[in-house]
Amino acid sequence: MTTYPSSRAVGVGTRQRETPPGGQATYDLIEVAPLAWRQRGFRAARGYHTYRFEWQPTQVSFAVDLEDGQGMRTLWVLSGAADSVIPSHPAPCLVNLWHNATHWNSGAAAEPPRRAAHLRIDRVATR
């Protein structure tokens, strides 16, 4: 059986969307419950921020430190069966940055970037 990943988009100051049940392998996203907190004016590209993936046998969570003294804030949690939904074997960290001719969310034609895009990673750490 082929398992396809789910997609999730989180706007720290606005909303979050994710793949609906059965919509895996598509970019069709639906709006889900809002975050338990809001942070207006947060712009990830304005500086380095601490993000964290926390793995547990039946759950993976993703969080960000908004550097407001409140600590890490959970962006999403994926729960499921070990070795079926949640992997149990270590894997490398992989980051992709590319442009596609089709917009990932709307399916419409996507304009090429007007300027270079950069992803800067200060460090990657494990406990």
Three-state SS across the chain? CCCCCCCEEECCCCCEEECCCCCCCCCCCEECCCCCCCCCCCCHHHCCCEEEEEEECCEEEEEEECCCCCCEEEEEEEECCECCCECCCCCCCCCCCCCCCECCCCCCECCCCCCCCCCCCCCCCCC
pLDDT of residue 1: 43
Percent of the chain surpassing pLDDT 90? 2
pLDDT in tens, 87-107: 888 777 777 777 778 776 677
Q: Tell me what percent of the residues of the chain surpass a pLDDT of 70.
A: 85
The pTM of the full predicted model, rounded to 2 decimals, is 0.70
More confident residue, 67 or 15: 67
Residue 51, CA distances (Å) to 22, 31, 32, 73, 101 in order? 28, 22, 21, 9, 29
User: Residue 125: is its pLDDT beyond 50?
Assistant: yes
Please determine, for residue 27, whether its predicted confidence score (pLDDT) is greater than 80: no
Q: What pLDDT is attached to residue 38?
A: 75
Top mean-pLDDT range of 10-14, 70-74, 84-88: 70-74
- On average, the pLDDT of the chain sits at 79
Mean pLDDT on 3-10: 65
Higher-pLDDT residue of 28, 79: 79
